Chains A and B, each alone.
Chain A
Amino acid sequence: MARIAALDGGTYYHHRTLYEPRYRDFFDGVIYTRDIADARFEDYDVLIVSCRTDPSVLIPHRAKFERFLDAGKTLVIMGSTGPGNWLSGVDWHYTPTNFWWWKEGGTLGLHLVSPDHPLFSHITLADATWHHHGHFIVPDGATSLIDVGDLGSVLYEDRVTSAGTKIVTSLDPMYHHGSHFMPATTRFLDGFLPWLRGL
């Protein structure tokens, strides 16, 4: 089983997601973002940069994230963390958030690109569908799992731009589960975290 750590930005929604009983046992370590300098990333196989972690606290540690990947580990980059600011090889494009597509007759436009990927034995597309915060242009050789229209990916796996694995998403389930809002986000984490555990 992969040993997982997650970053805690001190927000209420990180508290609910990381410390409350529903998911607590998935995290072998919780690292407060202002303690990153002294944290031992090497103790973990998977490091989750939790949704909406302030990029300004990550930028000073970009070399530490790169070293984690150089060691062959898995870095999970969640939504609204501005990864282009603190990690190389991530091409994120911000788009305004559509909270109302399901109420106003539109569609969010998400679709599975790699339906045979093991993640999808843990979650469905519906479990990943609430809204998204922008999209990514997937590096050559990396694998998108979910695209939005023909714009780009909202969830992809990159085993080519480093010695490790980047799992990158513009979805923000930890924020909304932590806010008691949008039940799909809880279903997403119910499947996503067990999948990470099995890496």
Chain B
Amino acid sequence: MAMKSETGKTGRLYRLSVWSVRRMANALPVLAVLAAIVVLWYAGSVAMNAKWAYAQAERAGETLSLSQLIADTQSQNRPRLPPPHQVFAELWDSTVEKKITSKRSLVYHGWVTLSATFQGFALGVSVGILMAVGIVCSRTLEMSLMPWAIISQTVPVVAIAPMIIVLSNSLGIDGRATPKAIISAYLCFFPVLVGMTKGLRSPDRMQLDLLKTYGASGAATFRKLRLPGSVPYLFTSLKVGIAAALVGTVVGELPTGAIQGLGARILIGDQFGNPMQIWAALFAAAILAGGLVTLIGAIQTLVLRRMGMEQ
């Protein structure tokens, strides 16, 4: 008996160690890439900030040793490329250290961007789904809508963003929330349109024939087959769409002197020569996007499991 429990224990330990070794084996490539990026980033910051360090030293009539040079490139006030620790210090300072009501808080600006993103996302998803439904239901709508949807995506959003802002101002729409949401929707409706169209068309010949043998109407076919069949496709495109909506919002905050939002922080950081602020805002946007995509992924898993489509 004692022997048995002994082997049971080692068996469990063995399985545990196998499990953790596997986990580590999975994590290793991820960590390696991350380390490579950090190393490249530091190397780049030394190379790009060296010119300024040399210029300063020359002006003071000094010569720099290698260690002095490296130390200087890592602690400049206005580096061309701030090293990671400076960026994260700024990120920490402007999120945790600042009150969230402060105009210098990235949480505040992040929230401005996030709320506009949600509005734009809601608008873009609605437009995308409605267009997809129209396109699937009517060949005429497909021919008249699809080309414009594609053309819309070939026009750079930075070109169209100022026009939308000017246009909505001249229409008497106050504030920047609406034009921002429109710009955001402009970027995010397209993946939703494409994904949803594909989803609504996903039922194959046989499934359509089956409904035909029941004498099902077009409406019944849509409701019972096409719509539920499109859900997995919709979620995939929602993930792309929400990231696009965020990018659209940030771009919408760039032109014509916005003062709120992550895009405005990037612009102001650029105008006042504060690279750390730019980079911190960029990272904040990336973290936000990552969080949003993860959130949609979680909802997707939940919904599909609920529907019985995921095991």
Q: Are A and B a genuine interacting pair, yes or no?
A: no
